[in-house]
Chain A
Amino acid sequence: MTDSAPPVSDLDLFDDEVLVDPYPSYAALRALGGVVRLPANDVYALTRYDVIRDALGDWEIFSSAGAIGFNPAVNEALSGTSLASDPPVHTRLRATLTANLSPRALRGLKKSIDAKADALVGELVAKGSFDAIDALARAFPLEVVADLIGFTGHVRANMLRWGQAAMQVIGPMNQRTAECFPIAGELYDWCSNVTADDLAPGSVGRGIFEAEARGDIPPGTAGHIIHQYLGAGVDTTIASIGNIVALFAAHPDQLALVRENPSLVPAAFNEVLRYWAPVHAWGRRTTRNVEIDGVLVPEGAKVAILFGAGNRDPRHYENPDEFLVERNPIDHLSFGYGPHGCAGQGLARLEAHAVVEALSRRVARLVVGTEVRVPSNITRSIEELPVLEVVPA
Chain B
Amino acid sequence: MKIVVNRPRCEGHGLCEEAAPQLMHLDDDGELVLDREEIGEADIPLANAAVRVCPVAALRVE
Given contacts A103-B30, A104-B30, contact A95 B8 (CB under 8 A): yes
Q: Mark B16-60, 1 if CB is under 8 A from A, else 0.
A: 001100000000011100000000000000000000110111000
Residues of chain B within 8 A of A339, CB atoms compared: 9, 56-57
Q: What size tier do the contact residues of chain A reach?
A: 10 to 19
The reply to whether the CB of B2 lies closer than 8 angstroms to some CB of chain A is no
Alpha-carbon distance between A339 and B9 when the two chains are bound, in angstroms:
8
Alpha-carbon distance between A91 and B9 when the two chains are bound, in angstroms:
8
Residues of chain A within 8 A of B30, CB atoms compared: 102-104, 107
B11 touches A337 (CB 8 A): no
The reply to whether the CB of B5 lies closer than 8 angstroms to some CB of chain A is no
Closest residue of A by beta carbon distance from B56: A341
B55 touches A345 (CB 8 A): yes
Q: Mark A317-350, 1 if CB is under 8 A from B, else 0.
A: 0000000000000110001011101110110000
Partner of B57, one of A57, A98, A104, A342: A57
CB distance from B4 to the nearest CB of A (A): 16
Q: Mark A76-99, 1 if CB is under 8 A from B, else 0.
A: 000000000000000100010010
Partner-A contacts on B (CB < 8 A): 8-9, 11-15, 18-19, 29-31, 52-53, 55-57
Alpha-carbon distance between A115 and B39 when the two chains are bound, in angstroms:
42
Alpha-carbon distance between A342 and B13 when the two chains are bound, in angstroms:
11
Q: A103-B13, A339-B57 are in contact. List 17 more A-B contacts (CB 8 A).
A: A91-B9, A102-B11, A102-B13, A103-B12, A103-B14, A103-B30, A104-B11, A104-B30, A104-B31, A330-B19, A337-B56, A339-B56, A341-B55, A341-B57, A343-B11, A345-B55, A346-B11
B8 touches A91 (CB 8 A): yes
Residues of chain B within 8 A of A107, CB atoms compared: 30
Given contacts A104-B31, A341-B57, contact A331 B13 (CB under 8 A): no
Partner of A330, one of B12, B18, B31, B57: B18
| Interface SS of B by simple majority | loop
CB distance from A337 to the nearest CB of B (A): 6
Closest residue of A by beta carbon distance from B14: A103
Residues of chain A within 8 A of B56, CB atoms compared: 337-339, 341
Closest residue of B by beta carbon distance from A91: B8
Partner of A337, one of B12, B29, B55: B55
Partner of B52, one of A91, A331, A338: A331
Residues of chain A within 8 A of B53, CB atoms compared: 330-331
B8 touches A345 (CB 8 A): no
CB distance from B16 to the nearest CB of A (A): 10
Q: What are 16 sample pairs from A and B whose C-beta atoms fall under 8 A apart?
A: A57-B57, A91-B9, A95-B8, A98-B11, A102-B11, A102-B30, A103-B13, A103-B14, A103-B30, A104-B12, A107-B30, A330-B53, A331-B53, A338-B56, A339-B56, A342-B55
The 6 closest A-B pairs by CB, nearest first: A104-B30, A102-B11, A338-B57, A341-B55, A341-B56, A104-B12
B14 touches A337 (CB 8 A): no
